[in-house]
Amino acid sequence: MNNLLETPIEYLKGVGPARGELLRKELGIHKYGDLINLYPNRYIDRTRYYKIHELLNSNSEVQVVGKVINLKSVGEKRTRLVATFTDGTGEMELVWFQGQKWIRENLKINVPYVVFGKASAFNGVFNMAHPEMELLTEHEQSLRSAMQPIYPSTEKLIQRGITNKVVNKIMQQLFIETQALFSEPLPAHLVNELQLIPKNAALFNIHFPKSQDLLARAQFRLKFEELFFIQLQLITKNIIRKHKIKGHAFDKVGTYFNDFYNNHLPFDLTGAQKRVLKEIRHDMGQPAQMNRLLQGDVGSGKTIVAMMSMLLALDNGFQACLMAPTEILANQHFLGLSELATPLGINIKILTGSTKTSERKIIHEQLESGELHIIIGTHALLEDKVQFKNLGLAIIDEQHRFGVEQRSKLWHKNEIPPHVLVMTATPIPRTLAMSLYGDLDISVIDELPPGRKPIQTVHRYDSNRLKVWAFLREEIAKGRQIYIVYPLIQESEKMDYKDLMDGYESISRDFPLPQYSVSIVHGKMKPSEKDSEMERFAKGKTNIMVATTVIEVGVNVPNASVMIIESAERFGLSQLHQLRGRVGRGAEQSYCILMTGQKLSNDSKIRMETMCRTNDGFEISEVDLKLRGPGDIMGTQQSGVLNLQIADLVKDRDILQLARQYAIKILKDDAALAKPEHTALRNAFLEISKKKNIWNYIS
Ligand code: ADP
Ligand code: MG
């Protein structure tokens, strides 16, 4: 790295200690190198010069060349300074409310200026308040180009006189001093193949674009470079893991797997399930730790894949565990999986917060002796007391609820870490997943089991409740069951519980005993109460289940065919989709009804429309991404990790794809970047990795 770029920012001509302090505090600019990477937020097209007689009252920003012919103060108490400005085609007024003294002293009369700002008409005369002004002679010489960059700024910076124009000036100074130093980090073959503009030209044009076209190419080049280095890091990490992190090679497909596959499989696997299983089998067959993300929409059949992966571990003499985020879900998994496992002679147990001490003790002992083959559980599995004889596979369901730390806790239970399979029903667009989990391998179940009828989703206002209730009676008469879900947000918990209980009471009135029976499940109930209510519903003893979002994840009652979501406008898209996924699991036509108030924000409208339009989780997550941005989707834990300067994971997905493709290509050919043509690349890579290690958060 060039030392000059490491120079503290206050040494730059035109900055000094006071401005340097401000730049550090307000924009985090410490060194020359930081300033170069302060990229403009947007650009104003200044290719066009307007004549005053052409101006329209469109309130847009324009630039005009002309002279000030007169300057005067107007008004009594709060005076303003008004200049008459003419260009031969007409006159307009330039107006200042602040800084009048300075203008009076410095503004030159009868000298050509370029003025820039919003022109608006008042009483037939155009005026421009606080225009940007530049002498025409300076304007013609300045480095600044027709596309004028607008830099990120803060109120304080502007108050203290560091305007956009000032930033532009010091940027020019920076370029004068350092331009020769921007060397090309990307190898020539890559630059040529992708026809990228050189690094120094890109930096120049991002700050002083010579044309729209060069600006576009500069942006492309810098975005590509940014994403490319991230991909280099992630892929390198992946390669290192495969080489260095040992894992148990499951080379046998044995009795458990074969017996299950040939004699006990309850249905034919879908093509996607088969493909994913093959990927998992391949990974676990290697003497390196598997670290795989299994994405599949709700209802796509991840559980059976998990089950069969565990059988492979057992076949090779190892134990397996499955960790779920809630007790309800852990229970559900346990019930489903033990039904499949017990006929095979497998010892399977469940461990949660409410497991009795005596049972707990047995479980601990059997895990250590190896007697217990499979353990299902919640966070309780992470406790230090839980020790395995030989854990070979750890499966984590609904990944987004667990932190990374918790994931790695499981790894450290044995000397050689278990293979890890993380399952998520929150589809993340593949390209985004690549960036956030670039070091995990990704499998996708992109096919639903056959015979599913797409869920019909409608949006209804609260005022139509009577009709909705009539529909519910029809469905119940056909023998179907119904979920009614209420929002529960921590901040408004009290009110939300009240809504839930009010709702429950009125539903119980509208669907009275003995003809109907209504269940309720919420977080304040004891686990045992929750379970027994869930079970009554699952067994078809009650018609309606009123619940908070505790049923969001995983619960499986195939006979439930209607999902009513109350105050649907309060839910995010992915949550709505998760909730909807609780129905549509049987052979019957299923419905999802989104109930909202009359007044909806624009975003809420988009969410409702999206839900009604599609059942495709990936499509929904794309919309979600657009509405919320990637940081939000991943939750606070992962947001901001990548801290991108210029690229946007949502908008620049094609570039991301390309960057990944080339990163893979280059590393395949030269994993250590040791070839002479990769010297500059390796140096830049090491430099960037030192500064911004995005590895840490993953493992
Ligand atoms: P999820 O991916 O949401 O965890 P599950 O594994 O719970 O989905 O599967 C949803 C439902 O689909 C379950 O009732 C399961 O038995 C059923 N199922 C899974 N795979 C198939 C298949 N290949 N054919 C038919 N039904 C399947
Ligand atoms: Mg599931």
Pair (509, 529) in one structural domain = yes
Domain contains 438: no
pLDDT at residue 412 in the model: 64
CATH code: domain of residue 387: 3.40.50.300
Nearest CA to ligand 1 atom 14: 585
Q: Has residue 236 been placed in a domain?
A: no
Whether 132 and 165 map to the same domain: the answer is no
Mean pLDDT by 10 residues, the chain (699 residues): 80 94 93 92 82 80 92 88 95 92 92 91 88 89 73 87 91 86 90 95 91 89 94 83 81 94 95 97 92 86 96 97 88 92 96 94 96 95 90 84 58 78 77 65 88 92 96 97 90 86 95 95 85 88 90 73 96 89 87 95 93 90 75 42 73 86 93 93 88 45
Residue to mutate, 269, 293, 294, 304, ligand 1, most ligand atoms under 8 Å from C-beta: 304
Residues 313 and 418 in one domain: yes
Q: Which two tokens stand for residue 243?
A: 């080489």
Measured in Å, residue 132 CA sits from the centre of ligand 2 at 60
Tell me the CA–centroid distance for residue 449 and ligand 1, in Å.
7
Query: What is d(CA 562, CA 588) in angstroms, rounded to the nearest whole number?
Result: 10
Q: What's 138's domain CATH number?
A: 2.40.50.140
**Smallest CA separation from ligand 1 atom 16, residue:** 301
Say how many domains are in the chain.
4
For 36, the 3-state DSSP assignment is helix
Do residues 168 and 112 both lie within one domain? no
Q: Which ligand neighbours the alpha carbon of 305 most closely?
A: 1
Q: Which ligand is nearest to the CA of 449?
A: 1
296 lines ligand 1 (CB under 6 A): yes
Q: What is the pLDDT of residue 699?
A: 32
Ligand nearest the Cα atom of residue 557: 1
Is 267's C-beta closer than 6 angstroms to any atom of ligand 1?
A: yes
Q: Ligand 2 mean position to 298 CA, how many Å?
A: 7
Whether 320 lines ligand 1, by a CB cut-off of 6 Å, is: no
What is the secondary structure of 606-641 as a DSSP string? Answer: HHHHHHHH---HHHHHHHHHHHH-HHHHH-TTTTTS
Q: Is the peptide bond before 112 cis (omega within 30 degrees of 0)?
A: no
Q: 492 and 576 share a domain?
A: yes
What pLDDT score was predicted for residue 437?
Answer: 64
- What CATH number does residue 21 fall under? 1.10.150
Q: What is the pLDDT of residue 622?
A: 80
- State if residue 223 touches ligand 1 by the CB under 6 angstroms criterion: no
Substitution candidate for ligand 1 out of 261, 269, 300, 333 with most atoms within 8 A of CB? 300
H-run or E-run covering 573: helix 573-580
Cβ atoms of residues 259 and 314 within 8 Å: no
Beta carbon of 298 within 6 Å of any ligand 1 atom: yes
The long-range contacts involving 5-10, CB below 8 angstroms and separated by at least 24 positions, are 5/31, 5/32, 5/33, 5/36, 5/178, 5/181, 6/31, 6/32, 6/33, 7/31, 7/32, 9/34, 9/35
Same domain flag for 387 and 349: yes
245 inside domain: no
Same-domain status, 475 and 550: yes
Q: Rounded to the nearest whole angstrom, what is the distance from the C-alpha of residue 582 to the centroid of ligand 2?
A: 10
* In a shared domain, residues 31 and 72: no
561 within some domain: yes
For residues 501 and 495, give the distance between their C-alpha atoms in angstroms, rounded to a whole number: 10
3-state SS class at 81: strand
Q: Tell me, yes or no, whether 272 and 133 share the same domain.
A: no
Q: How far apart are CA 615 and CA 510, in angstroms?
A: 30
Report yes or no: 596 and 462 within 8 Å, Cβ to Cβ. yes
End-to-end CA distance of the chain: 29
The reply to whether 167 and 63 lie within a common domain is no
pLDDT score recorded for residue 236: 85
Within-domain flag for 547:
yes
Cβ of residue 519 lying under 6 Å from some atom of ligand 1:
no
393 Cα to the center of ligand 1, angstroms? 21
Cβ burial of 370 (10 Å; 0-12, 13-18, 19+) is middle
The reply to whether 350 and 470 lie within a common domain is no
Query: Using CB atoms within 10 A of its CB, is residue 330 exposed (0-12), middle (13-18) or buried (19+)?
Result: buried
Within a domain: 483: yes
Whether residue 9 is found in the same domain as residue 131: no
Which residue range(s) make up the domain with 542? 456-614
Please name which ligand lies nearest the alpha carbon of 556.
Answer: 1
Provide the pLDDT for residue 407. 59
* In a domain? residue 190: no
Domain assignment of residue 541, yes or no: yes
